[in-house]
Amino acid sequence: MASEQEKIVYLDNNATTAVAPEVVEAMRPYFEAKYWNPSSMYAPALALAREIDGARELVAERLGADYPDEIIFTSCATESNNAALVGGLKGAVKADPKRNKIVTTKVEHPAVLEVCKQLEKEGCDVSYVGVDSDGNINIREFVQALEPGRTAVVSVMHANNETGVIFPIEKLSRIVKQTDPKIAFHVDATQSVTKLPIDLGRIDPSGGLSGAFGHVDMLSFSGHKIHAPKGVGALYLRRGTAFERFLIGGHQERGRRAGTENVPYIMGLAKALDLEADGLFERGARMEAMRDRLQASLEERIPWIVVNGKNAPRTPNTLNIAVYGAEGEAILMLTSERGVCVSSGSACTSGSLEPSHVLVAMNVPSGALQGNFRFSLSRYTTDEEIDRAIDVFAEAVALARERSCKWDSAKGEPIA
Ligand code: PLP
């Protein structure tokens, strides 16, 4: 067992991140002195409303958006995704009842997939585009799924939360707009904001399209994946996009999202984005070097493992491996007892009887579906932590295999 004093090695940053100390400090005044309701009409509240708009400007600038009012603060990426899909679909159907189709992929987060399944039950047509064995989107299938005049919203993630595989958003959004400029293009960027460049700008003094994401109409992300707290997120909504509001009530967020603003957390979100904005490439390169070392060392020390998404472009912080010949829960328990926190997609530990829908879509062989692990790094991960994770994980796999009826110790291979 890791002793109380022994530091935990936390490699589950795609699940959530530590709040940055600078973010905690930036939030503090809004819990203590500036607790006003920003919709009130007295002077301190009006000043606070201006501060929220300052945060909005900062977020817009960091994402390259053309206008600050294109940023709507929400409670999390799940809410942003729900609002984009439901609000985008309703807006499109209102303008033209024939537009009642969504196109998405088989590997989206449940915050998109489950919404699509619900909308399907309510009469919407949904196409789920597949991926290849590396997790790359099937472009031909994507093109075929788009129906000009019928498709309302396309929703595609930027980077996959389980494998880190990156979808070519610039290319996909171009295809969509060439097919039908009225289709709204939504990106779930929860795992890519602060890890990959995002430029939503469209206004270009030369008259062209400036940002690589200039064809994107909606984009979701969440605070707790970028060192801000849980309970805050944002939806980017390009001016002119057909949209019916999702949360109904007061007039906050210019009538597009009701509910008293979570002022401290909004300030925290803006601060976190600002902190991460500089040095993106240096930070990415540092994380990538550590991730690659982790990957190479595990591949060298542990036979019969496979890196999922190895040949696809991936976010610099994510490593997903499948382990043959042992129970995933046993490996996870041994790893956790030794103070290393990673995420497991194995059936029992994720609380579901189903294997990961992402790996199933990638056609990962069944022998590797029950023992897959995600290591996800952050800006705070150190080389020493990676060293420890390598040792602990290699030892855990060896021990789990020794005890497993799935492993032939004499031959050193899994039992078929
Ligand atoms: N989308 C992706 C790709 C995610 O990875 C997650 C969280 O893991 C979400 C959406 C949901 O985020 P939140 O917890 O902020 O609702």
pLDDT of residue 176: 97
How high does pLDDT run on average in the chain?
94
pLDDT in tens, 252-287: 999 999 999 999 999 999 999 999 887 888 999 999
Which residues make beta-bridge pairs with 372? 322
Q: For the domain made up of 4-18+279-414, give the CATH fold.
A: Aspartate Aminotransferase, domain 1 (3.90.1150)
How far does residue 264's CA lie from ligand 1's centre (Å)? 21
* Least reliable range by pLDDT among 54-63, 93-102, 340-349: 340-349
Q: CA 1 to CA 47: how far, in whole Å?
A: 52
Question: Does residue 99 line the site of ligand 1, with CB under 6 A?
Answer: no
pLDDT in tens, 272-281: 999 988 788 8
Task: Give me the catalytic one of 76, 124, 348, 405.
Answer: 348
- What are the extents of the domains in the chain? 4-18+279-414, 21-277
Q: CA 343 to CA 364: how far, in whole Å?
A: 18
Compute the radius of gyration of the chain from its Cα atoms.
22
* Residue 76 is among the residues annotated as catalytic for this protein: no
How far does residue 45's CA lie from ligand 1's centre (Å)? 32
pLDDT of residue 347: 46
Question: Does residue 414 line the site of ligand 1, with CB under 6 A?
Answer: no
Please tell me the pTM assigned to this model.
0.96
Angle ∠(32,194,288) on CA atoms, nearest 5:
130
pLDDT of residue 269: 98
Residue type, 341: C
Q: In what order do the strands lie in the sheet with 372-376?
A: 305-307, 318-323, 372-376, 343-344
pLDDT at 57 over 60: yes
Which CATH architecture is the domain 21-277 placed in? 3-Layer(aba) Sandwich (3.40)
Q: Which residues, 6 or more positions from 308, have their beta carbon under 8 angstroms from its beta carbon? A: 135, 162, 163, 320, 321, 322, 359, 362, 364, 372
Q: How far is CA 133 from CA 58, 122, 310, 376, in A?
A: 39, 32, 10, 21
Pocket test of ligand 1: the residue of 14, 19, 78, 376 to mutate, having most ligand atoms within 8 Å of its CB, is 78
Tell me the mean pLDDT in the region 81-104.
97
Tell me the mean pLDDT in the region 209-234.
94
pLDDT in tens, 137-179: 999 999 999 999 999 999 999 999 999 999 999 999 999 999 9
Q: CA 152 to CA 297: how far, in whole Å?
A: 46
The pLDDT confidence band at residue 348, using thresholds 50, 70 and 90, is very low
- Tokens describing residue 154: 């396309």
Which residues make beta-bridge pairs with 12? 376
Atom of ligand 1 lying closest to residue 111 CA? 10
Q: How far is CA 256 from CA 249, 259, 373, in A?
A: 10, 10, 39
Tell me the mean pLDDT in the region 37-62.
97
How much of the chain, in percent, has pLDDT values that exceed 90?
89
